[in-house]
Every structure is written in C-alpha cells, then in structure tokens.
Amino acid sequence: MTLEQVSLIVFFAVIAVCGAAWMVMRDLFWGAEGQGRLRPQSLRRVPTVHDEAPAVNLTGKLDQGFEHLVFESGFDVSSVTAFLMLVACGLLAGGAMFTYSANGMLAGLAGSAGMMLPLFAMMILRSRRMREMQEGMPYVVDLLSRAVRAGESVDQAVALVGSETKGVIGREFTRCARQLDMGLALGTVMQSLSRRVRLTELRMLASTLMVHRQTGGNLPIALDRMAGVVRDRLNGARQMRATTGAGRSSTILMAVVSPIAYILCFVYFPDHVRPLLTDPMGRILLITAVSLELIGIFWVLALLKRPI
C-alpha cells in the first residue's frame, strides 16, 4: 500500500473523530436536536424511538435496537453520534493496524474489533443500569404503598418516589411527576415510563396503577403483594446467577481466549501467523474462524442474558 493511500485512510479517520467529537459536544451542551441547554428550548417535545411503532422489517428492528441500546446505556448523546463514535474507533484501530502491518485483511479485522468494543461497552453499561433499576423496584413499590396508605394520592406518591429515591429510577419517577404536574393522564405517563424503561417489574407496576385508576380497589394491598412478587423474582434471578456463575465464567473465558491467543502469536511469533494472511487457503480458514468466533460470542451473550 502506498503512502498516499495511508494518508487518505488517516485523513478519513481524523475527519470521523472530529465529527464524532463535535456531535458529542453538541449533544452535551446544545441538546440532541440542537435545542438544548444553551439555546431557547421549544415547547414541542422532540420525538424519540419510544414514540415510534415497533418495526416489522429487519433494518428497522436493527435501527430501533441500536437507538434503545444508546438510550438505555445512559449516554446523553444521539444515536447518530454514537454510530459516528463506533466508526471513528473502527477507523482508528484499522488505520493503526494497517500502519503497523501494511496488511488490508488484518486492518479490516482490527477495524471490526475497534467498532465492536464500544458496542460491547454500551451493552455492559445498559445491563448495569437496568440491573440497578431492577434492584430498586422493591423499595419503590413499598414507598408507593406506604404513601398511598398514609392518604396521599397516586400523583403525590409518584412525586414522593421521585424525590426520595436516588439513582436512575428516581430520575425516571421525577420525570413522571413533572408530566403529571403538566396535566398528562396517569395512564399516558405510565405507558411512557414502561416504553422508556423496558423492565417487566416496572410494566407490572404501570399496569397496576392504570387498572386502579380505571376500576378502583385497594391499591396498598395490591402494591404490597406486588412488592413480594418483585422480591421473589429478584431472589430467583440472584440464585440463578449464583448457580450458573462458574459455567458463565468458563464460557466467557473460552470465547475470549482465541482472539487473545491470535494477538499474542501475531506479536511474538509472526512467522506462524503469516500463512493465514498470505496463503489463499489460510485466508479462507481465518475468515471462517473469525465468523465462527463472532457467532459464538453472540450466542454466549444471548445465553448470559437469560438468567439476568
């Protein structure tokens, strides 16, 4: 590869990094749609992925899934900015590997790995954020029950949860309290909350509050029973994670040992790895191995997601 081609790759990498940095700063200081903290805000709410109907085709499902991932991971950026960050990481990793080895296939593999690592990081952050909200659900349901039993209305109980609860779930209920203060119906607010936070326990709470608002009944008793159900679900999930901890750890080790071994062989024993890059059969075997490794990693992630 010539010096001009390397310069072109570096140029596009720098442009992507600058674009991603600009969009991050725009989202942090001007808002995701350019009408945020330093500009006069519009009264019209900007539509998000939660306002869209579920997609029916594969492309739409991938787009909505990525937008949900960015939102649920806690990053205060738009999905376009997050995708630009993935592209920038891939270009930087691929360009660095190409500068080191001058091999297009190896640079492509490094670029793919550079794009996958931030994606895995967002998945981990989303899992931690969702688990934090799930762990706080019993306290939230108990606090709602005590507030309603003390004579507070449901709207006042929601505001109390938002002010007394810390963390992500407290901010979500604070947002619900503000929506109720603006005159929105309780059913609309709960539906919006269940779309933003896709937890089974929170959907159960939203359904309970909406049914009570429509039909009435003894809400404190229903909330007490629901708190018991939520605790049982959490205890069952913890027991499942503890029981399958050794198996999950060994599975993760088997999934990551192959890429680490290949990197170590490439650094310390390049002569043993060179046939995989120069020989046609070696390239086919390398592509097959990488494809099977990616399939195995995604399969492991799907298996790890079930007990949580």
Asked if the 130-241 domain carries CATH number 1.20.81.30, the reply is yes
Q: Would you list the domain boundaries of the chain?
A: 130-241, 244-308
Query: pLDDT: is 57 or 177 the higher one?
Result: 177
- The confidence band for 23, taking pLDDT boundaries of 50, 70 and 90, is low
The pLDDT tens digits of the residues spanning 67-113 come to 888 888 877 777 777 888 888 888 888 777 777 777 676 777 778 88
Whole-model pTM above 0.85? Answer: no
Q: Are 170 and 162 in contact (CB under 8 A)?
A: yes
Lowest average pLDDT, out of 9-18, 44-53, 164-173, 296-305, goes to 44-53
Percent of the chain with pLDDT over 70: 80
CB 91 within 8 A of CB 14: no
**What is the residue-averaged pLDDT of the chain?**
78
Mean pLDDT of 126-143: 88
Give residue 34's pLDDT. Answer: 41
Q: Binning pLDDT at 50, 70 and 90, where does residue 32 land?
A: very low
Helices 200-215 and 186-196 sit at what angle, rounded to 10 degrees? 170
DSSP tally for the chain: helices H, then strands E: 12, 0
What pLDDT score was predicted for residue 7?
64
